[in-house]
């Protein structure tokens, strides 16, 4: 099979500013753990405070992890918008070094977006300041080559028009289109854009908190994750070529996969608490591992196993980083 450019990721390229902070820091900026939000005015001083003290690293985590798992040069690409600045250059260098072919839309008016990753006791909170990522233009799209397309739900806040174009293209050309719920606030406040994209989604990823929020927003009156996954998999779909598969992670609890009216549970690799360094990027890594096998047309249980392996590696390291080569067989 030809792997060149087979997997395309779209989203918000943000430079992570990752830091172990204390409860006082969270209180000062009114931030809750295990959450992901968009920055408001009150959060902006946080970025300078963190950037002067801590390391920065590039995101595009899912696609980077898929590329790492694959070890096939040029198999993955990524599009999004960055600023014409130092952070934008860092993003480019880091992605190319990881083997991801990034094709950025560059905006001259806004700086490259950043994401504050605040870690307390191994749990994380994300506060995204989109800046240039918010400026992505539909005319920049180049999607012909890819056979599998993955878009983070966060992109619904930036360019629903791009998502619509890509999802319709995927349905018309029989490409595999996948999305992520990404965060509770996406399900709550970007419901309309999410509902427009959903009929095109072949694989829907999320975690248990996002799934429960999705259920509440849709008035389903159930907190049961397997039941919610099943309902998501059975939502109306444009193309009948393949049925939707919903894949919901639950931290240390089993991964829930709903497909064709059935629910399967897959145990994760359990990790002793003392080995947990940082949960940031665990969900992204799971998706990256999963996609790395999906594009090789492996069975779902292999995709889940690869997702669990990648997430397990990531949570034992700081940030979304990994060893030189995967040890996955």
> At 66, which CATH number?
3.40.1190.20
Tokens of 53: 């003290």
Inside any domain, residue 197: yes
Inside any domain, residue 205: yes
More confident residue, 320 or 20: 20
More confident residue, 235 or 252: 235
Inside any domain, residue 34: no
Query: Is 284 an active-site residue?
Result: yes
Model pLDDT, residue 139: 86
Range of the domain at 222: 7-13+59-112+132-315
Inside any domain, residue 155: yes
pLDDT band at 220 (very low <50, low <70, confident <90, very high): very high
Model pLDDT, residue 1: 65
Strand order in the sheet with 113-120: 35-38, 123-129, 113-120, 14-20, 56-58
Model pLDDT, residue 315: 86
Q: What is the C-alpha to C-alpha distance for residues 215 and 227, in angstroms, rounded to an integer? A: 10
Model pLDDT, residue 2: 79
Q: What is the C-alpha to C-alpha distance for residues 223 and 306, in angstroms, rounded to an integer? A: 27
Inside any domain, residue 42: no
Inside any domain, residue 46: no
pLDDT band at 6 (very low <50, low <70, confident <90, very high): very high
Q: What is the C-alpha to C-alpha distance for residues 177 and 270, in angstroms, rounded to an integer? A: 30
Which listed residue (16, 202, 278, 284) is catalytic? Answer: 284
Inside any domain, residue 150: yes
Average pLDDT over residues 214-234: 97
Q: What is the pLDDT of residues 56-94, one digit of tens each?
A: 655 568 999 999 999 998 899 999 999 999 889 988 998
List 265's β-bridge partners, or say none: 256
Tokens of 55: 């390391």
Q: What integer best gives the mean pLDDT of the chain?
A: 91
Inside any domain, residue 239: yes
Average pLDDT over residues 263-268: 97
Domain count, the chain: 1
């Amino acid at each position: 099979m030809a792997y060149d450019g087979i997997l395309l990721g779209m989203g918000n390229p943000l430079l992570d500013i990752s830091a172990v902070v204390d409860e006082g820091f969270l209180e000062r900026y009114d931030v809750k753990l295990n959450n992901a939000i968009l920055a408001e005015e009150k959060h902006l001083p946080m970025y300078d405070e963190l950037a002067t003290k801590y390391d920065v690293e590039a995101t595009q985590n899912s696609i980077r992890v898929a590329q790492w798992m694959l070890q096939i040069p040029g198999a993955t690409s990524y599009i999004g918008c960055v600023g014409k600045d130092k952070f934008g250059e860092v993003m480019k260098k880091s992605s190319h070094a990881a083997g991801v072919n990034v094709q950025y839309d560059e905006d001259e008016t806004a700086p490259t977006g950043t994401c504050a990753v605040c870690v307390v006791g191994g749990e994380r909170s994300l506060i995204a300041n989109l800046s240039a990522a918010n400026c992505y233009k539909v005319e920049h799209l180049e999607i012909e080559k890819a056979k599998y397309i993955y878009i983070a739900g966060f992109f619904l806040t930036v360019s629903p028009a791009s998502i619509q174009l890509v999802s319709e293209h995927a349905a018309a050309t029989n490409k595999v289109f996948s999305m992520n719920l990404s965060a509770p606030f996406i399900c709550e406040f970007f419901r309309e854009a999410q509902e427009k994209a959903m009929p095109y989604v072949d694989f829907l990823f999320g975690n248990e908190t996002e799934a429960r929020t999705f259920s509440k927003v849709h008035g389903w009156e159930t907190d049961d994750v397997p039941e919610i996954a099943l309902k998501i998999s059975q939502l109306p779909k444009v193309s009948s070529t393949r049925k939707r598969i919903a894949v919901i992670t639950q931290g240390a609890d089993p991964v829930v996969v709903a497909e064709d009216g059935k629910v399967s549970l897959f145990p994760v690799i359990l990790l002793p608490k003392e080995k947990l360094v940082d949960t940031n990027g665990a969900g992204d890594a799971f998706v990256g591992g999963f996609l790395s096998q999906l594009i090789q047309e492996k069975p779902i249980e292999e995709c889940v196993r690869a997702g669990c392996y990648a997430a397990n590696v990531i949570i034992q390291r700081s940030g979304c980083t990994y060893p030189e080569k995967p040890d996955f067989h």
